[in-house]
Every structure is written in structure tokens, then in C-alpha cells.
Amino acid sequence: MGNSKKYLFVCLANSHRSPTGKDVFTDMLQERGYTAGDLEDEIGKDFLVVSCGTRVKTYEIEGARQYTAELGEWADVIFSADKYVDRELWDGFEAPMKKVINLEIPDIYKIYLPNDLFALRNLLRERLAEYVPEKKK
């Protein structure tokens, strides 16, 4: 896989906030000239961006990825949706705290509602801006 930097987005169910965070961050990287992939498309990419949830098994969401200790170790940076996700990462999974960045995104957005999706994407762009590297040379 090489030297790709690895980012992991985590919310509770991996249905709204973390997949949208992954998509927005990937878009922002590509806007700056980088390539981004995920676990299924990682060869030759500058960055790997993955989303998951801490309670996927509880919510039984088809196609959602469950957070595991292995994913936590794999990631260079873990973007947590909110303080509740932080607590689950640290208490339930013993995630490395130095890797976790809380984006403080409340669990109020329904991505199937156009206005909610627009608001969530804008909030994520604002919160993630400082973590996107400068334009690729």
C-alpha cells in the first residue's frame, strides 16, 4: 500500500455523518489535486479515507462497516462525529486517544432530506478545512 495517509470517520451507525464526512473529505482532497481511495481501492492513492460506526451491529444497517480495534490501529487519524462516539471509542474499543479528533457534528442530520444533507456537507467542509493539506505540487 505504500505511504498513503489513512483517515477514518466514525459515527454511531455509519449511515449519515461518517459516510458523508468520508465523501466530503475525499472531495476536498481531490479538489487540491490528491488521489483518495478506501480499503477496496487503495493502490497508488495519496490518501485512504474510510467510514464506519461504533453501533452498526446494534442498528443492523446493511452495507455499513463496524468499527473495530484493527481499523483504529490502521488509521493515522480518526475523526469522531461527537463526544458520544468519543466515549464509545475510548471505553468500548480503547482507541488510541492521540489519533481521535472530535468534529462535534450533532446527530440531527438525515441525508435523505436535501436541506439536511446540504447543511451537513457545509458543516463538515468547515470543520475539516484545517485537516486538508495544501494543494498538491
Q: What is the pLDDT of residue 95?
A: 67
In a domain, 136, yes or no: no
For residue range 12-48, list pLDDT tens digits in order.
999 999 999 999 999 999 999 999 999 888 788 999 9
What's this model's pTM, rounded to 2 decimal places? 0.92
In a domain, 90, yes or no: yes
Q: Give yes or no for residue 126 having a pLDDT over 70.
A: yes
In a domain, 55, yes or no: yes
In a domain, 51, yes or no: yes
Q: How far apart are CA 63 and CA 56, in angstroms?
A: 9
In a domain, 137, yes or no: no
Domain residues for the domain of 125 are 5-131
Q: What is the DSSP string of 14-56?
A: SSSHHHHHHHHHHHHHHHTT--EE-TTS-TT-SEEEEEEESSH
Give phi and psi for 35, each to the nearest 5: -100, 145
Q: How far apart are CA 137 and CA 114, in angstroms?
A: 35
In a domain, 115, yes or no: yes
For residue range 104-125, list pLDDT tens digits in order.
999 999 999 999 999 999 999 9
45: how many CB neighbours lie within 10 A of its CB?
A: 19
In a domain, 76, yes or no: yes
Q: What is the mean pLDDT of the chain?
A: 92
Residue scoring higher pLDDT (95 or 34):
34
In a domain, 116, yes or no: yes
- Kindly report the CATH number assigned to the domain that includes residue 21: 3.40.50.2300
User: What band does 1 get if pLDDT is binned at 50, 70 and 90?
Assistant: very low
Q: Domains in the chain: how many in total?
A: 1
